[in-house]
Amino acid sequence: MKTILITGCSSGYGLETALHFHAKGWNVVATMRNPAAAPFETSDRLRVVALDVTDEDSIALALELAGPIDVLVNNAGIGLVGSLEYSPMRKIRDLFETNTLGTIAMTQAVIPQFRARGAGTIVNVTSTVTLASFPFAAAYTASKTAIQGFTNSLALELAPFGIAAKLVEPGYGPTTAFTQNTNIALEDVLPEPYWSQAQPIFAGMANAELFTTEAEVAAGVWEAVHDESGRSHFPAGADAVAMAEAA
């Protein structure tokens, strides 16, 4: 029975992906910063482990507690919406620490066991902001685009050792807590004259016909893990698929 470790499982895509793989019979290591808030029922095939992907010691301990794994899913991330001019640099640094450096650190930490075994899969969850440009998401786009390039290069580096590195690219997820963990009020990062430009964009997003659900991302991760065609990019969500086809 295979084991998957998923970061950022307290809600959203991570939570749904953990439930999806568990339902399919996998052993799941669901990680999050605060395990006390874990929304999971008790199961002998699901373990909740504390993990802060920005902390080297936390990563080492989490992997020690997890034991051997077959798949790593780097899903943990934070959002940031607003004008770059008014986005605090401390928040932009936090964004890169989690979305970019956290993903790189987790990947680096699991490579030795995968290389020793001659097998393993790394799935990095990015976003369709890497496929099409959107205003008022410059820092977030940069953090995810960095992982896009990182994964593409890493896949070539690790392939000779039997290790796969793949990307799952969700679209707009209105039911996720995308910006709730930034502690920044929208009006602070989108004052005039930016708010006049942003308002119709947000109104259009609120009425979007195509968007991405948590279940679609979980299915995308499942597809990426099991695909053996050599494909590396997996758009997840109706809007993501449309963007990928148009790109």
Catalytic residue among 13, 86, 140, 194: 140
Burial, 215: exposed, middle or buried (Cβ in 10 Å; 0-12, 13-18, 19+)? middle
Q: Which helix (H) or strand (E) holds 176?
A: none
Evaluate whether 36 touches 11 at the Cβ level (below 8 Å): no
In angstroms, the CA 195 to CA 83 distance is: 9
C-alpha triplet 147, 14, 74: angle, nearest 5°: 25
Helices (H), the chain: 12-23, 56-66, 89-96, 103-117, 138-158, 186-189, 194-206, 214-226, 238-246
Active site residue 172: no
Q: Token pair of 108, please?
A: 């680096």
- For residue 235, is the peptide bond before it cis, meaning its omega torsion is within 30 degrees of 0? no
Phi, psi dihedral angles at 27 (to 5 degrees): -80, 130
End-to-end Cα spacing for the chain: 38
Catalytic residue ranges: 140
